Amino acid sequence: MPKRFPSHRSAGSRAVRRGLGLGGWVAVGTTALVIGSSLTAYGAYYDIYGNISQETVDTDAWDRPTKVEGAINIMIIGSDVRSGDNAEYGGEIEGERPDTLLIAHISPNHDGAVLINLPRDSVVDMPSCEPNGDRPGMDAHRGMINSAMNYGGVQCQWKVVEQLTGIHIDHFVSVDFTGFKEMVDAIGGVEMCIPEPVDDPKAHLTLEAGEQTLNGEQALGYMRSRYGQGDGSDLSRIDRQQVFLGAMLRKVMSGEIMSSPSSIYSFLGSVTDSITVDDQFTVDKMTDIAIQMREVDLGNIKFLTVPNGAHPDDENRVAWTQPDADQLFQAIANDTQIVEDEPEEDEAEESAEEAPTVDPSQVSVEVINGTDTPGLAGTVGTELQGKGFVLAGTGNPQGSVPGRTTVYHGPGMEAHANTVAAQLKKAVVEESPLLGSTVQLVISADWDGLKGDSSSSSTEVLDSIDAKTAEETESAC
C-alpha cells in the first residue's frame, strides 16, 4: 500500500491555499525527489513530505479526455483569496479565483517538460459544474477561466481545464504566497536584472535598476507586481514570472545548493509545508516523476503561454488564438514533440524579404473557395479571424481559378497581401487593379493550409508560440 501523507490540517474543511504554483512545481518536479535520495535518512525524506496537505477531487464526475501512458500533466493553481500573512498583498478579495493557472506537462518520451500558462483573464466557454460543498456550482456560460474555482472549487477548475484543452490532468498542486517567500529565502535569494526602477505600492515593491539578489519578500512582490512594470497587463507579468522562475530553477539546480544537505532540507521543507495536492498524488508517484526528470537538461524545460490576443469584446480580456491554441493542446494531449525546425538559409532570407509589415487587424480579406471541398472558405476565414484579420466575406469563384493559391491585392496594398500570404503554407501574391482596400485570397487545388493549423504535421513549429527554455529565460543588464 502506498504511504499516505499524514496531515495536521483538515484539507476538506479549508480552501485550497494560495499559490504561485509554477515556482513550487518546477522546483518540486525537477529537484525535490531527485535530490531526496541524497538525504542521509530516508525517514527524514518521508517526514518532509508529510507536511503536504491534501484535498479530495472526484474526477469520475465528468467525461474525461483519454490519458496517454507515460506522460504526466499537472494542473497548477493559485488563489486570489488573501488573508493572514497574505492580506497585505492587495487586501481582501471576495471569492476565490486562481491568480496563476498552468499545465505542467512532463514527458519521459521526450526527456523534458513544458509549462503552459493559461492567462487568468482568458474569456472561454465554461462547462457546467455541480454544487460542491459550500460552492454553488455553475451553469454553462462564457466567462473568465479562473472563475470556475469560485463556483465549484478545485474540482470545477479541473473539469474546466480538461474540457477546454482536451488534456487529461493527472494531479493538481497549489503553493501559497508565504511558502514561496520561504522557498526563495531557503536558497539564499535569486539573482535578477531589473532593467528599470520599480515602484509598485500595491505589490509593496521598490527596486533600483540593475543586477541584484532578491530575497523572499522582494521576489514575491516582483512576481505579484502588475501595474509598476511593463504595460500593466497580466501577459506582461507572466513574461516576468517566467524569467524569474527560470533564474530560481537555475539557482536550485546549482552545485551550491545541491551540495549542501542543510540547504536541500530547508528548501524541501519550505516547499512541502506550503503546498496542497490531490489525495491521489502520493509520495511514490512524486518519486516516479523525479526519476523521470533526473537527467533532464534545463534546455528541455520550456515555458510558454497559450497563443492569444485581445478579446474582440474587451481589450482588457484575453481570447485564445485558433487554431494555434487547439493545436498546442492536441500536441500536449498526445504527448507529441513540438519541434522548431531551422529554416534553410535561402528560405530564411526570402522570408525576411517578404516579412509582413501590416498588423493583421488592419487587413481586410475576402476568402474564395476554388476547390471541391465544401465550406473551406468559411473554415479558412474563421482561422484568419483567429489570427486577428478582418474577414470581409467568403464565397465561390465567379470565373476561372488560378493554378496556385493566390492572394490578390489592389494598388498600394501589397504589404497587406504579404501579411495574409505569410500565414499560408503555399501562396503567391499578385496585383489586381480591380480591387480596392480589401485583399482577396483565392484557394486553389494546391491548398496546403495555414501555418500551424490542425492539419499540420507534428513536427511543424507553432509560429505563434514564444517558448522559452529555463536557460533562455536568463535576464542580463
> Per-residue pLDDT tens for 203-253?
788 999 899 999 999 988 887 777 667 666 767 777 777 778 778 877 776
Residues 6+ apart with CB under 8 A from 461: 338, 339, 340, 341, 452
Q: Which residues pair with 214 in a beta bridge?
A: 190
Question: How many helices (H) and strands (E) are present in the chain, helices listed first?
Answer: 13, 21
Q: Do domains 11-339 and 346-443 have the same CATH topology?
A: no
Instruction: Parse the chain into domains and list their residue ranges.
Output: 11-339, 346-443
148-194 tens-digit pLDDT:
988 999 999 999 999 999 999 999 988 776 667 888 888 899 998 88
- Among residues 102, 4, 13, the alpha carbon closest in space to that of 55 is found at 13
Tell me the one-letter amino acid at 42: Y
What does the alpha-carbon distance between residue 236 and residue 218 come to, in Å, rounded to a whole number? 18
Question: Does the pTM of the predicted model rise above 0.95?
Answer: no
Pick the CATH number of 346-443 from 3.30.70.2390, 2.60.120.20, 3.40.50.850, 3.40.50.300: 3.30.70.2390
- Among residues 413, 456, 463, 421, the alpha carbon closest in space to that of 438 is found at 413
What does the alpha-carbon distance between residue 422 and residue 428 come to, in Å, rounded to a whole number? 10
CATH code at 11-339: 3.40.630.190
254-307 tens-digit pLDDT:
666 656 667 766 777 777 777 788 999 887 777 677 666 656 666 677 878 899
